[in-house]
């Protein structure tokens, strides 16, 4: 069975989508919720290193592709039939792509999503399995995972049938060429400073 099939599962959702969106709207300001595979998940608060990695990538993107923006924590509608809601650490899209869309935007126009692993027990399931499936099912061209535990970057590309057909992993310090439609070269030596 493929990873996508494992994630899709036939498990009954905890609630319907309208109930989730109401819950997310009413959550306290510091609580960030996601709805992945029919399950409500609390997005872990970022530590300083996590935030610095997101800012590092934001600067790389703005320097090389000033026509694009890396939007931190932009809510996206993901998974087949729009049954999921995710908050990637960063969403790369053209300037003004999300104007007028509200808290949960359509993935149209999104070129790449970024996840930085957190220091919690769910990071393997969430960042390495469930979210890539949801982003691929939504047709997002690239998924970039900055894996603090493995000291590596994983680039997933070519979404088809709910899975990314291409996956490449690079150690911190290597030069990483993000494929089209992003076309950015990442000099990742700096990430060694952020490895705990």
User: What is the pLDDT of the chain when averaged over all its residues?
Assistant: 82
Minimum mean pLDDT range among 115-129, 134-148, 175-189: 115-129
What number of other Cβ atoms are within 10 A of residue 96's Cβ? 9
Give the least confident one: 8-22, 38-52, 134-148. Answer: 8-22
Is the pLDDT at 124 greater than 60? The verdict is: no
pLDDT class of 15 with cuts at 50, 70, 90: low
* Phi and psi, residue 83, nearest 5°: -90, 0
pLDDT tens per residue across span 76-123: 998 764 578 888 989 999 999 999 998 889 999 999 999 988 766 665
Has residue 7 got a pLDDT over 60? Answer: no
Instruction: Flag whether pLDDT at 56 surpasses 80.
Output: yes
What is the per-residue burial (b if ≥16 Cβ within 10 Å, else e) of 111-135?
A: bbbbbbbbeeeebeebbbebbbbbb
CATH superfamily placement of domain 46-194 = tt1808, chain A (3.90.1570.10)
Q: What's the confidence (pLDDT) of residue 40? A: 63
What is the three-class DSSP state of 191?
A: helix
Instruction: Write the DSSP symbol of residue 66.
Output: T
When pLDDT is averaged across residues 29-34 and rounded to a whole number, the result is 58
| Domain boundaries along the sequence of the chain | 46-194
With beta carbons less than 8 A apart as the criterion, state whether 138 and 79 touch.
yes
- State yes or no: pLDDT of 162 exceeds 90: no
Confidence band, pLDDT 50/70/90 cuts, at residue 9:
very low
Given a cut of 60, whether residue 45 has pLDDT beyond it is no
């Amino acid at each position: 069975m493929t990873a996508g099939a494992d994630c899709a599962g036939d498990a009954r959702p905890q609630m319907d989508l309208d109930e989730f969106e109401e819950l997310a709207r009413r959550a306290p300001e510091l609580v960030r919720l996601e709805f992945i595979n029919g399950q409500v998940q609390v997005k872990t608060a970022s530590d300083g290193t996590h935030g610095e990695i997101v800012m590092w990538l934001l600067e790389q993107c703005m320097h090389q592709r000033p026509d694009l923006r890396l939007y931190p924590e932009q809510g996206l509608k993901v998974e087949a039939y729009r049954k999921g809601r995710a908050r990637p650490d960063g969403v790369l899209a053209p300037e003004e792509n999300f104007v007028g869309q509200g808290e949960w935007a359509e993935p149209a126009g999104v070129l790449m999503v970024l996840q930085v692993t957190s220091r919690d027990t769910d990071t393997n399931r969430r960042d390495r399995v469930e979210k890539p499936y949801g982003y691929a099912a939504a047709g997002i061209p690239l998924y970039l995972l900055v894996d603090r535990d493995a000291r590596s970057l994983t680039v997933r590309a070519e979404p088809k049938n709910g899975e990314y057909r291409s996956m490449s992993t690079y150690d911190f310090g290597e030069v990483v060429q993000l494929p089209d439609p992003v076309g950015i070269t990442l000099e990742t030596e700096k990430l060694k400073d952020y490895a705990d």
